[in-house]
Protein backbone atom coordinates (compact mmCIF):
# COMPACT_ATOMS: atom_id res chain seq x y z
CA UNK A 1 0.00 0.00 0.00
CA UNK A 2 1.40 3.40 -0.94
CA UNK A 3 1.33 6.62 1.05
CA UNK A 4 1.13 10.18 -0.25
CA UNK A 5 3.80 12.62 0.90
CA UNK A 6 5.95 15.51 -0.31
CA UNK A 7 9.67 15.34 -1.08
CA UNK A 8 12.11 17.74 -2.72
CA UNK A 9 11.36 18.33 -6.41
CA UNK A 10 14.83 17.09 -7.45
CA UNK A 11 14.24 13.79 -5.59
CA UNK A 12 10.74 13.25 -7.02
CA UNK A 13 11.43 10.51 -9.55
CA UNK A 14 10.29 6.91 -9.90
CA UNK A 15 12.47 4.44 -8.03
CA UNK A 16 14.17 7.05 -5.83
CA UNK A 17 14.75 5.67 -2.32
CA UNK A 18 15.28 7.66 0.85
CA UNK A 19 15.43 7.31 4.61
CA UNK A 20 12.78 9.39 6.37
CA UNK A 21 14.61 11.10 9.23
CA UNK A 22 11.76 13.27 10.53
CA UNK A 23 10.93 16.93 10.19
CA UNK A 24 13.11 20.04 10.19
CA UNK A 25 12.42 23.00 12.51
CA UNK A 26 11.23 24.99 9.46
CA UNK A 27 8.44 22.45 8.89
CA UNK A 28 6.52 23.16 12.10
CA UNK A 29 4.70 26.24 10.78
CA UNK A 30 4.07 24.99 7.23
CA UNK A 31 0.46 24.54 6.11
CA UNK A 32 1.42 21.25 4.41
CA UNK A 33 3.05 19.77 7.53
CA UNK A 34 0.45 17.00 7.95
CA UNK A 35 0.88 15.85 4.33
CA UNK A 36 4.70 15.91 4.38
CA UNK A 37 5.16 14.03 7.61
CA UNK A 38 3.02 10.91 7.24
CA UNK A 39 6.00 8.54 7.17
CA UNK A 40 7.76 6.60 9.95
CA UNK A 41 11.09 7.92 11.14
CA UNK A 42 13.99 5.57 10.47
CA UNK A 43 12.28 3.67 7.64
CA UNK A 44 13.28 3.67 3.98
CA UNK A 45 10.80 4.49 1.23
CA UNK A 46 10.71 4.21 -2.56
CA UNK A 47 8.90 6.62 -4.86
CA UNK A 48 6.34 4.63 -6.87
CA UNK A 49 4.45 7.53 -8.49
CA UNK A 50 5.09 11.22 -9.07
CA UNK A 51 1.85 13.18 -9.16
CA UNK A 52 3.25 16.28 -10.89
CA UNK A 53 2.05 18.81 -8.30
CA UNK A 54 4.70 21.07 -6.74
CA UNK A 55 4.40 23.35 -3.70
CA UNK A 56 6.69 25.98 -2.24
CA UNK A 57 8.69 24.61 0.66
CA UNK A 58 10.75 26.25 3.43
CA UNK A 59 13.26 23.36 3.31
CA UNK A 60 13.63 22.53 -0.40
CA UNK A 61 14.77 25.48 -2.55
CA UNK A 62 13.23 24.08 -5.72
CA UNK A 63 9.95 23.23 -3.99
CA UNK A 64 8.35 19.97 -2.88
CA UNK A 65 6.53 17.54 -5.16
CA UNK A 66 3.60 15.30 -4.30
CA UNK A 67 4.58 11.64 -4.60
CA UNK A 68 3.33 8.21 -3.67
CA UNK A 69 5.82 6.04 -1.80
CA UNK A 70 5.97 2.49 -0.50
CA UNK A 71 7.69 1.47 2.70
CA UNK A 72 10.63 -0.87 2.09
CA UNK A 73 11.64 -3.69 4.43
CA UNK A 74 13.95 -2.43 7.17
CA UNK A 75 17.41 -3.94 7.52
CA UNK A 76 18.72 -3.71 11.06
CA UNK A 77 21.33 -5.31 13.31
CA UNK A 78 19.77 -7.03 16.32
CA UNK A 79 20.95 -9.43 19.01
CA UNK A 80 21.48 -12.95 17.71
CA UNK A 81 19.30 -14.20 20.60
CA UNK A 82 16.27 -12.29 19.21
CA UNK A 83 16.85 -13.29 15.58
CA UNK A 84 14.16 -15.88 14.95
CA UNK A 85 12.50 -15.82 11.54
CA UNK A 86 8.80 -15.06 11.88
CA UNK A 87 9.14 -13.66 15.41
CA UNK A 88 7.47 -10.36 16.31
CA UNK A 89 9.73 -8.11 18.36
CA UNK A 90 10.01 -4.46 19.36
CA UNK A 91 12.99 -2.52 18.01
CA UNK A 92 14.22 1.04 18.20
CA UNK A 93 17.14 2.99 16.83
CA UNK A 94 20.40 3.36 18.65
CA UNK A 95 23.54 5.38 18.42
CA UNK A 96 26.59 3.18 18.25
CA UNK A 97 29.55 3.85 20.52
CA UNK A 98 31.81 2.36 17.83
CA UNK A 99 30.12 3.04 14.48
CA UNK A 100 31.48 1.10 11.50
CA UNK A 101 34.08 2.96 9.42
CA UNK A 102 31.60 3.87 6.70
CA UNK A 103 30.07 7.17 5.63
CA UNK A 104 26.79 7.96 7.49
CA UNK A 105 24.69 7.54 4.31
CA UNK A 106 25.97 4.02 3.66
CA UNK A 107 23.36 1.24 3.92
CA UNK A 108 25.54 -0.87 6.25
CA UNK A 109 25.98 2.14 8.53
CA UNK A 110 22.20 2.40 8.90
CA UNK A 111 21.92 -1.32 9.64
CA UNK A 112 24.08 -0.81 12.74
CA UNK A 113 23.37 2.81 13.65
CA UNK A 114 19.84 3.78 12.62
CA UNK A 115 19.35 6.34 15.37
CA UNK A 116 16.22 7.74 13.67
CA UNK A 117 14.13 4.62 14.24
CA UNK A 118 11.34 5.07 16.79
CA UNK A 119 10.25 2.18 19.01
CA UNK A 120 8.08 -0.07 16.83
CA UNK A 121 6.78 -3.62 16.55
CA UNK A 122 8.20 -5.59 13.65
CA UNK A 123 8.19 -9.09 12.22
CA UNK A 124 11.52 -10.71 11.35
CA UNK A 125 11.11 -11.68 7.69
CA UNK A 126 14.57 -13.18 7.16
CA UNK A 127 18.01 -13.41 8.69
CA UNK A 128 20.65 -11.98 6.36
CA UNK A 129 23.87 -12.78 8.22
CA UNK A 130 26.37 -11.91 10.94
CA UNK A 131 27.44 -8.34 11.64
CA UNK A 132 31.03 -7.47 12.51
CA UNK A 133 30.43 -5.34 15.61
CA UNK A 134 33.35 -3.30 16.96
CA UNK A 135 31.92 -3.40 20.51
CA UNK A 136 31.88 -7.19 20.53
CA UNK A 137 28.08 -7.55 20.55
CA UNK A 138 26.78 -10.74 18.92
CA UNK A 139 24.62 -9.16 16.21
CA UNK A 140 22.96 -10.35 13.03
CA UNK A 141 21.47 -8.36 10.18
CA UNK A 142 17.78 -9.05 9.65
CA UNK A 143 15.07 -7.85 7.30
CA UNK A 144 12.03 -6.52 9.15
CA UNK A 145 8.47 -5.60 8.27
CA UNK A 146 6.34 -3.30 10.39
CA UNK A 147 3.31 -4.90 12.04
CA UNK A 148 1.80 -1.73 13.53
- 3-state SS of the chain? CCEEEEEEHHHCCCCCEEECCCCCHHHCCCCCHHHHCCCCCCCEEEEEEEEEEEECCCCCCCCEEEEEEEECCEEEEEEHHHCCCCCEEEECCCCCCCCCCCCCCCHHHHHHHCCCCCCEEEEEEEEEEEECCCCCCCEEEEEEEECC
Q: What value does the mean pLDDT of the chain take?
A: 88
Percent residues over pLDDT 70 in the chain: 92
pLDDT at residue 101 is higher than 60: no
Q: What is the pLDDT of residue 135?
A: 80
Q: Mark whether 45 and 79 lie in a shared domain.
A: no
Round to whole Å and give the CA distance between 120 and 71. Answer: 14
Q: What are phi and psi of 10, to 5 degrees?
A: -70, -20
Query: Of the candidates 14, 38, 71, which is a domain's last residue?
Result: 71
pLDDT at residue 80 is higher than 80: yes
Round to whole Å and give the CA distance between 125 and 53. Answer: 36
- First-to-last C-alpha distance (Å) of the chain: 14
Q: Mark whether 54 and 88 lie in a shared domain.
A: no
Q: What is the pLDDT of residue 113?
A: 77
Q: Mark whether 87 and 142 lie in a shared domain.
A: yes
Q: Mark whether 67 and 79 lie in a shared domain.
A: no
Is the Cβ–Cβ distance between 91 and 119 less than 8 Å?
A: yes
Q: What is the pLDDT of residue 102?
A: 54
Structural domain including 126 reads 74-146
pLDDT digit string, tens, across residues 102-113:
555 556 777 877
Query: Of the candidates 71, 90, 121, which is a domain's last residue?
Result: 71
Average pLDDT, stretch 35-60?
92
Q: What is the count of structural domains for the chain?
A: 2
pLDDT at residue 53 is higher than 90: yes
Q: What is the pTM of this model?
A: 0.81
Q: Mark whether 65 and 7 lie in a shared domain.
A: yes
Amino acid sequence: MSKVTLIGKSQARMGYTFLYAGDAPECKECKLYRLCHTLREGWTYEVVKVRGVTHTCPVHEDGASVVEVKELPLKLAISRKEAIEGAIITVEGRKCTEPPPLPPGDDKYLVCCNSYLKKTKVKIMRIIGSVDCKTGEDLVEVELKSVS
